[in-house]
Structure 1
C-alpha cells in the first residue's frame, strides 16, 4: 500500500478522537466546516465555503437534520458570514449528507444551484404514484439479489427539490462554475453516483473530491435504481482519469485533507481488483450463489453479522456492482429469474489466478 501525505492534521486528530474537527481556513477565503450526520460511521461531512465579492459559495450542504443545520449556520458564522450570504451552491452528488439541507437553505436564501444532470434528474418533483413505483422497484431489486426480509425496501431519504424550484445549472464535465475570484471547474467522476462531481481549482491548488477519493476508505459503489448500469466500471475509469490530474491538495467530504492523488488512486484500483478476485473465488467455491450469499462470504471492515440491515444491503449492492464487472469481463454469468444466481462463465482451468479468462 502506498502512503499519502496527510495535510489536515487537526482533522485527522479529531477523527482519531471521534470528535468534530474545527472550522478551518484552508486557503485565503476558503473554509472547511464539519457538519454532523449521526447516526453514521462517517460521523460528519465536510462542507466548503468560498468567499465571493457579494457573499459566499458552498460546496455541498449537509445532512437533513436540526443538528446539522445548526452546525452549518454556526460554521458559516465562524467564517464571518451569514446563511443569507449564500449566493451559489454546488453539489457533488445527490446523497442526503451532501444535498440534504438544500430545501431548508432555500427557506432563507435563493442561491444558484448547480449539479451534474445525471443526479439532478432525480430531484424534480414526482407524483405519489411515481414514488410508490420506485419503492416497488426497490423491493424487486432486493429480491433479485437474494436479500432476506424485503418487507422494508430500504428507502430512508428520497432527495427532492421543492415543487417548482429548478436546478439552475446542470453541469457537464470540465465546465467552469464561474465563481468570481476562483477558477473552479467541475470534473465528472461517476461511480459513487451516476452524476458525482469533483471540483478542481488549479490556481488555488485544491480539488474538492466529494466521496470519489477519501484518504482512508473506499466509497460505496453500488447498483441501485439511481445508478448507471455498471457503476463500478465507471468508477474505475473515473479513478484512472483522476490519476492524471496535477498533485492538487485533496479536500474530501469526509475524514481529512491529503496529498498524493495518484498514490491514492493506485491503492483504490488495487483494492477493487483484489475484491474482484475474492468474489470470483467465492463463486468457484460455492457455485449458484446469490449476491447476498456471496456478500456474506467475503471480508468486510467488521464482521458481517455486526452490520445493521442498511449497511448489510449496501454491502450486498456493492458486491453486485463487482459481479456486474466480472460478467462484463466474461468471468461470471448470472442465471435468469429471481433470485439471480452466479456461476463461472468459463471452466476453472481456463482462468488466470485473478479470475480473468486466459
Structure 2
C-alpha cells in the first residue's frame, strides 16, 4: 500500500492490513507537518512505533486516531521509539501514564536522554554559544541561532540492542541499529510481514538531517555511520517501508541506494568547493556556500544552525577519508582540501 504526502488536514488514521495501523500526529509549527505513528497488533494490546510530539493537539490526534481504529490508548502494551527526537519520543511518557505500558529505545539514545535529563538549561546555553563561536558564527548570528531546547523525552524502561526482538507477543519485530540521524536510531523489521518501520532513516522524498554536535568534534563520524546503515538496510531487500514522515513506499533497498548516491555527490561537490578556495574555511563559511532547499540568507536562524551541523558532518567524513584536513590549533576550526 502506498500513500502520497498530503497536508496534515487531509491525513486520516488508516488500517494498513496485517494487524498494522497508522495514525498521523501533528507537529505544531514544523514544516514536516506530522509524524506517522504506527500500531502493531498483539494479544496483550497494541505496540506503538513512535508516539509523536508532546503537545495537547498531538495527544488528541494520537488517542483519537487510535480510537477511530477501534484501539484504546489505555490498552497499549508498549511504545518502541525509533529515536529520541521530540517528534518521535515526545508523547511516549504520556502513553505510559495512560496505559501502564513500557517504553523502549536503543541503548545509545537512552544514554543521551539520561544526559539531557541531567543537563541544566544554563549549561545548554553556554554549550550552544561556544559551539557556534568555534564554528565561525559571529556574535549576531550566535544570538539569532540560539534557542531553547524542547522538553526532554521520558526515560525508557527497556533498552534495545541491534538484533533484539521487541516484546510483541505473536509477532517478530526486530531492532536494526541504523545510526547516523542519531547514535541510537533503529529501524524495526516486522519479519512476519516483510515490512520495515524506517523512522527517519529512510524517507521516500527527503533525506534526514545528519549533523555533528558540537560541530567541531573529531571523534565521531555520523555521516559515515549513516551511509553504512543505508547499506545494511539495503541488504534486507525490497521490503515495504513504513516511514515516520511523508508516505508509505515499496522497496526500501532502492531508496536507500538513492540516498547514498545523493550524499556521495554532495561530498564530492563540497571537496571541490574547498579545493577552489585559496584560504581554509570555517564550518559556518562552508555551510553558507553549500546548496540548501533555499538560499542561505533566506534560512531561518534555527535552520542555519542545522545546516552548519550537516556541513560539519560532511566535512568530518571527508576528513576521515583523507580528502581534506582541519588546521591544528586554530579557533574557530578551519578546513582545507588536500591536493590529490
- TM-score, normalising length from structure 1? 0.87
**CA 1:295–1:18: 2 relative to 1, 3 Å:** same
Structure 1 runs, 4 residues or longer, greater than 6 Å off:
125-129
Instruction: Tell me if 1:310 matches 2:299.
Output: no
**CA 1:291–1:67: 2 relative to 1, 3 Å:** same
1:69 maps to which residue? Answer: 59
Q: Distance in 1 between matches of 2:13 and 2:142?
A: 41
1:293 maps to which residue? Answer: 285
User: Secondary structure in 1 aligned to 2:103?
Assistant: strand
Matches within 5 A, 1:108-123: 108-123=98-113
2:261 maps to which residue? Answer: 270
1:356 maps to which residue? Answer: none
Gapped runs of 5+ residues in structure 2? none
CA contact (8 A) 2:96 2:103 kept: no
Give the drift of 1:222: 0.4
CA contact (8 A) 2:22 2:38 kept: yes
Q: Distance in 2 between matches of 1:242 and 1:120?
A: 22
2:193 maps to which residue? Answer: 204
Tell me whether 328-337 or 85-94 shows the greater mean CA deviation: 328-337
CA contact (8 A) 1:95 1:159 kept: no
CA contact (8 A) 1:124 1:160 kept: no
Q: Distance in 2 between matches of 1:285 and 1:23?
A: 51
1:193 maps to which residue? Answer: 182
Structure 1 or 2: larger helix share? 2
**CA 1:220–1:126: 2 relative to 1, 3 Å:** closer
Q: CA RMSD in A?
A: 2.0
CA contact (8 A) 1:116 1:172 kept: yes
Give the drift of 1:144: 1.4
Gapped runs of 5+ residues in structure 1? 1-6, 352-358
Which digits, 9 at most, give the CA deviation of each residue in 1:224-244, with x for residues without a partner? 159981110100110111111
Instruction: Give the count of matched residue pairs.
Output: 333
User: Secondary structure in 1 aligned to 2:35?
Assistant: strand
Tell me whether 106-115 or 56-65 shows the greater mean CA deviation: 106-115
1:140 maps to which residue? Answer: 130
**CA 1:275–1:155: 2 relative to 1, 3 Å:** farther
Q: Distance in 2 between matches of 1:28 and 1:261?
A: 19
CA contact (8 A) 1:48 1:60 kept: yes
1:43 maps to which residue? Answer: 33
Tell me whether 223-232 or 189-198 shows the greater mean CA deviation: 223-232
**CA 1:129–1:265: 2 relative to 1, 3 Å:** closer
**CA 1:332–1:103: 2 relative to 1, 3 Å:** same
Tell me whether 41-50 or 305-314 shows the greater mean CA deviation: 305-314
Q: Distance in 2 between matches of 1:72 and 1:79?
A: 11
Tell me whether 242-251 or 276-285 shows the greater mean CA deviation: 276-285
Give the drift of 1:158: 4.3
Give the drift of 1:134: 3.7
- TM-score, normalising length from structure 2? 0.92
CA contact (8 A) 1:93 1:196 kept: yes
Q: Distance in 2 between matches of 1:16 and 1:89?
A: 26
User: Secondary structure in 1 aligned to 2:187?
Assistant: strand
CA contact (8 A) 1:125 1:160 kept: no
2:336 maps to which residue? Answer: 343
1:53 maps to which residue? Answer: 43
CA contact (8 A) 2:25 2:62 kept: yes
Matches within 5 A, 1:1-358: 7-9=1-3, 12=4, 15-16=5-6, 19-124=9-114, 130-148=120-138, 149-151=141-143, 153-161=146-154, 167-224=156-213, 229-286=220-277, 287-335=279-327, 336-344=329-337, 346-347=338-339, 351=340
